Amino acid sequence: MIGLISATAAGAAAQGRLAAAWPDRTRVYEGPVGDAVRRAFAECEQLVCFLATGAVVRLVAPLLGDKVSDPGVVCVDEGGRFAVALVGGHGGGANALAEEVGRVLGAAPVVTTATDAVGIPGLDTLGLPVEGDVAGVTRALLDGEPVALDAEVAWPLPPVPFAEGGAYRVRLTDRAVEPAPGEVLLRPPSLVVGVGASRGAPAEEVLGLIEGALRDAGLSPHSVAELATVEAKAEEPGIVAAAARLGVPLVTYAAGELAGVEVPNPSDAPLAAVGTPSVAEAAALVRGGELLVPKRKSAGVPATATCAVVRRPGRGRLAVVGLGPGARDLLTPRAEAELRRASVLVGLDQYVNQIRDLLRPGTRILESGLGAEEERARTAVAQARQGHAVALIGSGDAGVYAMASPALAEASDDIDVVGVPGVTAALAAAALLGAPLGHDHVSISLSDLHTPWEVIERRVRAAAEADLVVTFYNPRSRGRDWQLPKALAILAEHREPVTPVGVVRNASRPDGTARVTTLTGLDPATVDMMTVVTVGNTATRNIAGRMVTPRGYRWQEEPK
The answer to whether the CB of 347 falls within 8 A of the CB of 226 is no
- pLDDT tens, position by position, for the chain (560 residues)? 999 999 888 888 889 889 999 999 999 999 898 999 999 989 999 999 999 889 889 998 998 887 778 899 999 988 889 999 998 877 788 888 998 999 899 999 988 876 766 677 778 778 889 999 988 998 888 888 888 889 888 888 888 888 887 789 999 999 999 999 999 999 999 999 999 999 999 999 999 999 999 999 999 999 999 999 999 999 999 999 999 999 999 999 999 999 999 999 998 888 888 889 999 999 999 998 999 999 999 987 788 999 999 999 888 999 999 999 989 999 999 999 999 889 999 999 999 999 999 998 889 999 988 878 899 999 999 999 988 999 999 999 999 988 999 999 999 888 999 999 999 999 999 999 999 999 999 999 999 888 999 999 999 999 999 999 999 999 998 888 899 999 999 999 999 999 999 999 999 888 999 999 999 999 999 999 999 999 999 999 999 999 999 987 554 555 44
CA dihedral (323, 328, 333, 338) positive or negative = positive
Question: What pLDDT is stored for residue 558 in this prediction?
Answer: 53
What Å distances lie between residue 299 and 212, 281, 284, 320, CA to CA? 10, 18, 21, 50
Taking the whole predicted model, whether its pTM rises above 0.85 is answered as: no
User: Of 378, 518, 502, 481, whose CA–CA distance to 428 is shortest?
Assistant: 502
State how beta strands 441-445 and 500-505 pair: unpaired
**What is the pLDDT at residue 404?**
92
- Helix %, strand %, coil % for the chain, to 5? 35, 25, 40
Q: Which of 295, 132, 140 is nearest to 210 (CA)?
A: 295
Q: What is the DSSP letter of 219?
A: B
- Can you tell me the distance from the alpha carbon of 308 to that of 291, in angstroms, rounded to the nearest whole number? 8
